[in-house]
Amino acid sequence: MSDAPLERFAELGGIDVTAFVGTSPWRLAATIDVAGLGRQADRLGLAGVCVSHLASVFGFDTRTGNEALAEAIAGDARLWFTPVLNPSEPGWEAELEWALEEGATGIRLTPGCHGYDADHPALAELATAAQEAELALHLLTTMDDPRERHPRYAFTDWSAAEVANFLRLAGAAPVVISGLRTYDWPEVHSCLDHGHDLSGILVDTWRMNGPVAALRMMTEQWGDLLAYGTCQPGQDAVASAYQLATARISAAERLAAAAGNAGRVLGRVAAPRSSG
């Protein structure tokens, strides 16, 4: 793999909207700590990383991993605190208040792992609270390719209709949808009400793999929604960057997907770094 595409990608000042620290309970090799994430940001020239802790996804509670994450990333302004909350468990309201005090920029939701669906009443309450707090909602629809999933790994992927229902709940809150394939978003869109406002929605790219034309097909109609996301360490961050750098899209479309769309929706300004 040539380094030239990654060097071009590093000039874009990218924003990774889906990243984790910690170790996967199913693959010991899928691990990264905050220092490693910082080195990855250096290599890829990232301006921001929306980061959560895997311990909050797979552990007995969300708070333990969230607290460890908040402490660990305090010295790196590129790492944006995105704690995981579970609205199906009691106490999420207090944890949301704590997260706001710790400077959270968004809330990560992992319903497929935490076992609730789009109709759970507390999810609507959390969505309302996020709107009031002006927080982004990050919905993780999957963390891997189901064809490669260990049979003891309990993760229920959300359907297109469930994702659409969640977007209705989210209202005016910015939403990042993670884990869709190239052909999944059109199906989600078909389940939305006519005229649904898409200006606050991002769809990340880590699962839009395959032919180099995959991202071009999404860009042709949905370019304003695309956002660079890796789902590392479970997925390869370099592969996602390489694919975006080599996609058959224009320079403006590449910059929008790498940084511009996320900067606009998440309220961050991520200007491209000078190549000089």
What percentage of residues in the chain have a pLDDT greater than 70?
94
How many angstroms separate the CA atoms of 219 and 106, rounded? 25
Q: In the prediction, which pLDDT does 234 show?
A: 86
Domain count, the chain: 1
pLDDT value at 211 more than 80: no
> Looking at this protein, which amino acid is placed at residue 34?
V
8 A C-beta contact, residue 146 and residue 157: yes
8 A C-beta contact, residue 234 and residue 31: no
Domain-located, residue 17: yes
**Mean pLDDT in the chain?**
90
Confidence label for 21 from pLDDT (cuts 50, 70 and 90): very high
Helix, strand and coil percent figures for the chain, each rounded to 5: 40, 15, 45
Domain-located, residue 76: yes
Closest Cα to residue 218, out of 188, 174, 197? 188
Domain-located, residue 184: yes
Q: In terms of C-beta density within 10 A (0-12 exposed, 13-18 middle, 19 or more buried), how is residue 53 classed?
A: buried
How many angstroms separate the CA atoms of 131 and 200, rounded? 12
Could you tell me the residue range of the domain that residue 105 belongs to?
3-267
Domain-located, residue 158: yes
pLDDT value at 24 more than 60: yes
Domain-located, residue 275: no
Q: In the prediction, which pLDDT does 100 show?
A: 96
Confidence label for 272 from pLDDT (cuts 50, 70 and 90): very low
Domain-located, residue 273: no
How many angstroms separate the CA atoms of 228 and 34, rounded? 19
Domain-located, residue 136: yes
Domain-located, residue 113: yes
Q: How many residues does the chain have?
A: 276
DSSP bridge pairs for 106: 136
The CATH code of the domain that includes 153 is 3.20.20.140
pLDDT in tens, 245-271: 999 999 999 999 999 999 999 984 333
